Copies of this chain bind each other. A is one copy, B any other.
Amino acid sequence: MKLFTKSRASAALKFPFQLIADQLREVEDQIKAEANAFDPAVEGYISYVLGTSGKRIRPALALLVGGACGVPNADHQKLGIVLELIHLATLVHDDIMDGAALRRSQPTAAAKWGNSLSVLLGDCLFAHALELAASFDSTHISRKIARSSNEVCTGEILQTQRRFDLSMTIPDYFRIISMKTAALFASAAELSAWLSGASSEVQENMRKYGDLLGTAYQIYDDCLDLTGNEEQAGKTLGTDLVKGKLTLPILYLLEESSEEQRSQLNTLILRQEPIDISIIAGIAGYAGAIRRSVATARGMLDEAREAVAILPENDHTTALNGITDYLDSLLENCKA
């Protein structure tokens, strides 16, 4: 998942990470340095995986919530690193399952070294992340992080199971993306508040904020897969339907179609062959389904702002809302 890197050039707002730029640089250095903790024979592979640098959104969330609730410290950084390592481990395994050759324009571990080694590399990275999680004084962090890792994998299993399954409902969809995409965002925000000694109400609101942000992002990504410009997005689009992933715009389209249209669409999906997006786009309800998906994501972003309202007003709180606003601006790009 190339979070928030797409369409940045065209976005109206900037990613509001300036405030924590120094700390994010430290996090970046620390992530790279984590490779040293591995056996010399494995270090090179891990270095490669850790070097496929992303936006480090999970560490950024941890640092911003830490700053909003007090002063972000080394523990917030460590939390961010742990979550980023888990995220990277899941990407290594995702690329095996998707048979993906490239990620961020670089060959995936699976493409470079094969599936067997990549299964083990992901495992090593995951085990190391959990070891780092257990270096906090309390078992609270380890427990919660292991739980959300389980959620991410379970969400992926559910998604795999429901491929080409036309009985999949909209609540099923939300449950899956909340697990597979939003769980680590929610942990970043919630546990960062916990590290700052925030009240359980604040922790719960931060969990909600992370969950809503992650869920809205996934809806954006799912819409982009149908409506995006490949050059701008920097990746192949239209792949969800080919893989049988029934995303929100398609579920809305199925819901709103006439009996005959639905039957046509079902036939297209069940053929399990590449679908020409223009056929989908030609269905009467298509533009409406995209608009409805964008509206759903925006509704979640409003709820995310409400969840943040519990925090004291400060630069970091403003930046948390800035992420929400930024994602909101990206949703502009999703037009049928």
Interfacial chain B residues near A122, Cβ < 8 Å: 119, 123
A76 within 8 A of B: no
Q: Does A278 sit at the interface, judged by CB under 8 A?
A: no
Q: A97 touching B126 by the CB < 8 A rule?
A: no
B123 x A97 contact (CB < 8 A): no
Tell me the residues in window 111-165 of chain A with beta carbons closer than 8 Å to chain B beta carbons: 115-117, 119-124, 126-128, 130-131, 133-139, 142-143, 146-147, 149-150, 153-154, 156-158, 160-161
Knowing A130-B142, A142-B139, A146-B134, the reply to whether A123 touches B153 (Cβ < 8 A) is yes
A124 x B143 contact (CB < 8 A): no
A126 touches B128 (CB 8 A): no
- Knowing A41-B157, A42-B157, A119-B119, the reply to whether A150 touches B127 (Cβ < 8 A) is yes
Interface centre among A122, A127, A158 (most CB of B within 10 A): A127
Query: A41-B161, A120-B93 given as contacts; is B153 within 8 A of A127 (CB)?
Result: yes
**21 contacts across the A-B interface (CB closer than 8 A):** A38-B154, A39-B158, A41-B154, A41-B158, A42-B154, A90-B123, A96-B116, A96-B119, A119-B119, A124-B153, A126-B126, A127-B149, A128-B150, A130-B142, A131-B142, A131-B143, A134-B139, A134-B143, A134-B146, A137-B139, A138-B139
Give the secondary structure class of A's interface.
Answer: helix
Q: Which residues of B contact A117 (CB under 8 A)?
A: 157, 160
A93 with B139, Cβ < 8 A, contacts A146-B130, A154-B38 known: no
Q: Name the residue of chain B whose CB is nearest to the CB of A96.
A: B119
Report B-chain residues with C-beta under 8 Å of the C-beta of A136.
139
**How big is chain A's contact interface, by range?**
35 or more
Cα A153 to Cα B154 in complex, Å, equals 22
User: Given contacts A127-B149, A136-B139, could you give 14 more A-B pairs where the C-beta distance is less than 8 Å?
Assistant: A42-B158, A93-B120, A93-B123, A96-B116, A115-B115, A122-B123, A123-B126, A126-B126, A130-B146, A131-B142, A133-B142, A134-B146, A139-B142, A142-B142
Residues on B with beta carbons closer than 8 Å to the beta carbon of A150: 38, 124, 127-128, 131
* Assembly stoichiometry (copies): 2
7 smallest CB-CB distances across A and B, nearest first, come from: A131-B146, A134-B142, A127-B150, A134-B143, A97-B116, A127-B149, A130-B146
- Complex-state Cα separation, A124 to B154, whole angstroms: 7
Q: Mark A35-50, 1 if CB is under 8 A from B, else 0.
A: 0001101100100000
Interchain CB contact under 8 A, B146 and A128 = yes
CB distance from A164 to the nearest CB of B (A): 14
Q: In this complex, what residue of B is CB-closest to A116? A: B97
Within 8 A of B (CB), among A81-105: 90, 93, 96-97
B131 touches A134 (CB 8 A): no
Chain B contacts for A135, CB-based, 8 A? 139, 143
**A253-277: contact bitstring with B at CB < 8 Å (1 yes, 0 no)?**
0000000000000000000000000
